[in-house]
Chains A and B, each alone.
Chain A
């Protein structure tokens, strides 16, 4: 158990819909990262938040957005869903700046299926 909690574990929805994925980082971790894993693209970095502020963006579509709340949990919002958005979405957390280990702790992921 990494200590990172993601909900929901599975989600099935239709094209054009909007969903929200939630992540609770490990206790004390200030950084949250979102990754997308699809069969043809592998693990792709989407976005990083540190203590409520966006720090880096990767290959995140404009239809996707994220935020980190004062209690440090994060949400990834996916809108106008397309079939190609079907993937596993992972959240990871780390103690950014407190050590140089750089270790990320990943949750078990949210599997999104768009029909």
Chain B
């Protein structure tokens, strides 16, 4: 299975951008890069995904390196509600997502 590496934790101030890095040096050409987040006491929530091009949605932006060996999730203006564990995941088939330890994001008011 292709693996991802994320920092254990990151801190941010409210209304500032947050850049969450993810390394996936063994990614294959067909792997999609997915991001999910899990707020306390809730199930994981889809954030964004991409294959090769950068992606934007209402929640975040995903910047993918040209060689696809790394990516960065960007939360443009962090709010207290964005405090969560963020998971970077490679979807290597249609059957499942393999979650790692993720990055715990703390947002300071």
Check if B43 sits within 8 Å of A2, measured CB to CB. Answer: yes
Report the stretch among B16-24, B73-81, B92-100 that lies at the interface: B92-100
State which residues 85-115 of A face B: CB under 8 Å. 90, 92, 96-97, 100-109
Query: Which residues of chain B have C-beta atoms less than 8 A from A48's C-beta?
Result: 95-96
Residue A103 contacts which of B43, B49, B95, B102 (CB distance < 8 angstroms)? B49
Besides A35-B99, A105-B46, 16 more A-B contacts (Cβ < 8 Å) are A2-B43, A2-B45, A4-B43, A33-B96, A42-B101, A43-B99, A45-B99, A55-B95, A56-B96, A90-B44, A97-B94, A101-B49, A102-B49, A104-B97, A108-B42, A109-B42
Distance, CA A106 to CA B46, complexed state (A): 9
- Per the CB 8 Å criterion, the residue count for chain A at the interface is 26
List the 6 closest A-B pairs by CB distance, nearest first: A106-B43, A56-B95, A43-B99, A45-B96, A103-B46, A106-B44
CA distance A56 to B46 in the complex (A): 21
Segment 63-109 of B: residues with Cβ below 8 Å from A: 87, 91, 93-102
Chain B's interface size range is: 20 to 34
Enumerate chain B interface residues (CB-CB to A < 8 A): 32, 34, 36, 42-46, 49, 87, 91, 93-102
Do A104 and B46 have beta carbons less than 8 Å apart?
Answer: yes
> Please, which residues of chain B bring their CB within 8 A of the CB of A16?
none
Contacts known (A42-B101, A43-B99); A96 close to B94, Cβ less than 8 A? yes
From B45, B46, B93, residue with most partner A Cβ within 10 Å: B46
What CA separation (Å) do A92 and B97 show in the bound complex?
Answer: 11
* Chain A residues within 8 Å of B93, by CB: 56
